[in-house]
Every structure is written in C-alpha cells, then in structure tokens.
Amino acid sequence: MHPFPLEPDRAAMTEMGRLVLDRVVDRTDHLAARPASSPLSPRAEAELVESFLAPPPARGSDLKALLARLDEAADCALETAGPGHMAYIPGSGLYSAALAEFYNRATNRYGGLASVAPALAALEESVIRWMAREVCGLPEGSGGLLTSGGSMATFSATVAARHDRLGEDLAGGTVYTTAFAHHSVAKAARLAGIRAAHIRTVPHTPDLRMDPDAAAAMIRADRDAGLRPFLLVATAGTTDTGTVDPLPQLAGLARREDVWFHIDAAYGGFFRLTARGSERLTGFEEADSVTLDPHKTLFMPFGTGALVVRDLAALHAAHDGTGSYLQDMEAAGSVPDSGQLGPELTHEIRGVRAWLPLHLHGVDAFREALDEKLDLAEHVHDTLSGVPELEVPQRPDLSTVIFRVRPADAGPAAAELADEASRRLLERINGHRRIVLSSTVVDGRYTLRVCVVSHRTHHDRITEALKIITAEVRNIPAA
C-alpha cells in the first residue's frame, strides 16, 4: 500500500482507471437499450435519494462498490446521454469530450491567467476564435470566453452592455426581449442591477418571433419617458419552439437606436455550420455579443458554454480587476486572460473538451450531425402534420417540433378539453420510457415538444417515437 493514500502508485492508478473505463464504455455501448427515464417508483427513488445524503466515512471504501453506487445514482435520472431524450435541448455528451476532460482534470492546469499555461490558453483561444469568427462571422478583434453555460454567458454579455452603454450610472437602464426568451435573460439583467420593471417584454408576431416594429416603438417611448434603453436581446432558436427572431431587422434597429445587440444563440448558433442553418440564421455578423452553448448543439458535456463579442476590449473593460497577489503574472502576448473577461478567476482550461473532439473528428462531422437533426425534425413535422387528431402550429426553424391535440371546435371549452388530452398524451408517451418529450405553453395552449438534438438520435429512434405518438393519440379519449 502506498504510504500516502491520496497518491496511488502507477499500478493502482491503472487499475482504478480500468475499472472506471470499463463501466463507462459498457454504459455508453448500451445507451440505445437503456430506458429514457428512471424506471424506479417514486418511493424507491425517494429512498435512493435519501441514501445519498449520508456523509462520507472516516475510512475509505472499495472502488468497485462505489462505482456500483454511482451507477444506481446515474440510473435514477433522465437518460440525457441516450437517443430517446427529446424533452430538452442540452446535448448528449461526446465520448471523446469525456476523454478530453479526464486528461484535462488529471493534468489540472489553471485557466484564469494565460501566462500560467500559455499553450493550453492558446488552445482554448483557438476554439473561441473559431466560434466568434467562423461560426458567428464576427470580425478581427472579436473574441470571448468559455463559460459554464449560457446563463453565465448571457450574464457577462449583459454586464458588458451595461458598462459600455450606461457606465457607472444604472438609473433608467432598460432591456428588451420577448416572452419566449430564455428566463436567464431577465435573470441576468436583474443580477446586473437592472430593475425588473425595466425589463421589457416585446410583443411577438403570430409566428412567435419578436416584432421589430413593436420593439422600435417601445424603445422610442421609453426614451421619451426619460429611460435609457441599452440592450436588445434576440433569440436564435427559442427554448420553447426553436423559433429564430428576425435578426437582420433587429440588428438594424439596434444600430439606429444605439443599443447593444445581443443574440441568445445557445441553442441555434452552431446550426450556422450547415447550409440551411446559415440561411436561416443571418444577422450574427451584426451582433455585439452572442451566447453559444457547445453543450447543446456541439454535443459537449454539460458545463460548456461560450460568449463571443464583437469588441473584446468592451468585455475586458467590464470585467477587469486585479490584486497585489497577481503582480508576478505577466500577460501572455496575443492570448487574453480569461479571468479578466468574466466573473471567474479560478477555473479549468475549458477549451480542451471542445478542442480535442473538433480536431479528432473534424468540423465536417459536426456539420453532418447537425444536418441530420434538421432532416429528422422536418420528418417529425411532416409526419405529425398528417395525423388528424393533432395540430402542428408551425414548421420548425431548427430541430424542435411542437404539436398538441386538436380541439373539437374553436371555443374555449374545446381548447381546455384538448389541453387536458395533451397532458394525458404526454404521460402516455413518456410512460413507454423509450422516448421522453416535454411540454410548454404556446399562445395559452398546452403544447408538446420534440427536441431532436442528441448526436445519438437517428432515424430508427425517430421512427419509433412517431409510432408511439400516433398510437397513443388514438388511445386517449376524444378532445
């Protein structure tokens, strides 16, 4: 036994690694056969949760037994890594990214200051520049940082916009978005010191997009009332419906009104890698900042977000800070310090988990996977549109399809009955545990969502999903 138990020797490390790797490979290899949601009863789930609240022991335990416990915990969950997960947008987690993270966590390099690990900082910077310039079309001088997710990216964008347009006086600062914006947009504004009453909800058009004329009227009215409009947030792929706001028109409005233009593209941004996506997602080139989520449509592990900005200096000015304990650190030339671009000083090198898969598989592999998701969503839309009992309100912009039970007539009572039937339909669909869907509310109606995002979701699982949906809609009482 090694005299220092926290430092296992080579043989022990190898054995520990093999135990973990064997389990991970086995789980990953059998994902298609695994249930899409937890098979435990509510009582069994509650008992398992309670068992995991116990504190750690004074003396160590056997690794095999602990891994078995981890399997129990992982099974008590939505199978977000599997092909049947179509309830929400976050992606499925590449195996190659997991390997990258193992290497990254074992080497454990510090990521806040580029001079501490300059080559790895450059590696991360290459990923950011690719996202900013090749994915989003921003010019030289653009840049950004990797974050824990879209929420932190949107928060830092809001702070940068506030600093750039309002300075130190936040009085009257006003933000504009829509009812379909992710809730992190309003949350970021509040955390940045903006009054909740000054977070405006711009009306949407009948096809669920931000209305540019309504936004313009609201901005002008607020400015006339003495407020200070400073941030317009559009969405490229709303969480509820996958809809893309009219980005070019909103970019023009932002320029005319001299407000910061942010695009929340956490879901939709990487579809710009495809020909269809680039056609549907024009206007990124005019943005001041863009939120991206590689852990959605780049299939990275959870905890991988990104913020890219047109002017890196504006992001730096809003987040700059130092301390005397950093006086020995020198700047690393052309690579910025990520700790000066966001709230976090201490963090890992987040770029490794994206850099390795992008270089290992090549960008074309991601482009082809995203094209497949667009194809599958179109197939879901076309199939469900042909089911008489269902209504499909819109053709998908990206890879989310919404549908609901069709009411018997146009009256409110029929709509309520149809909504209740849609609730029962969702329960019956998810009860198969082969797929998991989710719901939202669109124009006051209970609406189901099929989110085709996982890189492991292919035509076979979509065919199975459509069979389940069409069979179950005929098994519920008529609306």
Domain stop point among 315, 343, 360: 360
Average pLDDT over every residue of 256-262: 98
Domain containing 424 equals 364-473
Mark whether 355 and 372 lie in a shared domain.
no
Mark whether 119 and 178 lie in a shared domain.
yes
Q: Is residue 1 part of a domain?
A: no
Mark whether 157 and 202 lie in a shared domain.
yes
3-class SS at 331? coil
Quote the Cα angle for 96-152-131, to 5°. Answer: 50
Mark whether 425 and 338 lie in a shared domain.
no
Mark whether 135 and 64 lie in a shared domain.
no
Lowest average pLDDT, out of 55-59, 76-80, 322-326, goes to: 322-326
Residue 325 confidence class, pLDDT cut points 50, 70, 90: very low
Domain stop point among 332, 360, 388: 360
Say which residue, 327 or 282, is predicted with more confidence: 282
Of the candidates 5, 115, 23, 154, the residue with the CA atom closest to the CA atom of residue 339: 115
All residues at 6 or more sequence positions from 100 whose CB lies less than 8 Å from its CB, including other chains: 352, 353, 355, 356, 357
Lookup result for tokens 């990521």:
111
Q: Is residue 173 part of a domain?
A: yes
pLDDT per residue as tens digits for the range 465-474: 999 999 999 9
Average pLDDT over every residue of 134-160: 96
Mark whether 324 and 253 lie in a shared domain.
yes
Average pLDDT over every residue of 456-465: 98
Mark whether 387 and 356 lie in a shared domain.
no
Average pLDDT over every residue of 294-315: 96
Instruction: Provide the H-helix boundaries in 341-386.
Output: 352-361, 363-385
Mark whether 341 and 394 lie in a shared domain.
no
Max Cα–Cα distance, the chain, nearest Å? 77
Quote the Cα angle for 295-298-301, to 5°. Answer: 35
Residue 101 confidence class, pLDDT cut points 50, 70, 90: very high
Asked if residues 444 and 179 have their Cβ atoms less than 8 Å apart, the reply is no
Asked if residues 457 and 86 have their Cβ atoms less than 8 Å apart, the reply is yes
CATH number of the domain at 114, please.
3.40.640.10
Whether 475 has a pLDDT exceeding 70, the answer reads: yes
What phi, psi does 306 have (nearest 5°)?
-155, 145
What phi, psi does 11 have (nearest 5°)?
-65, -40
- Alpha-carbon distance of 81 to 88, in angstroms, equals 12
Count Cβ atoms below 10 Å from residue 44 Cβ, excluding itself.
Answer: 12
Q: Is residue 93 part of a domain?
A: no
What phi, psi does 231 have (nearest 5°)?
-145, 125
Retrieve residue 408's tokens.
Answer: 């018997």
CATH number of the domain at 444, please.
3.90.1150.170
Domain stop point among 342, 360, 378: 360
Q: How much of the chain exceeds pLDDT 70, in percent?
A: 97
Mark whether 65 and 166 lie in a shared domain.
no
Of the candidates 226, 229, 220, 239, the residue with the CA atom closest to the CA atom of residue 261: 229
Q: How many domains does the chain have?
A: 3
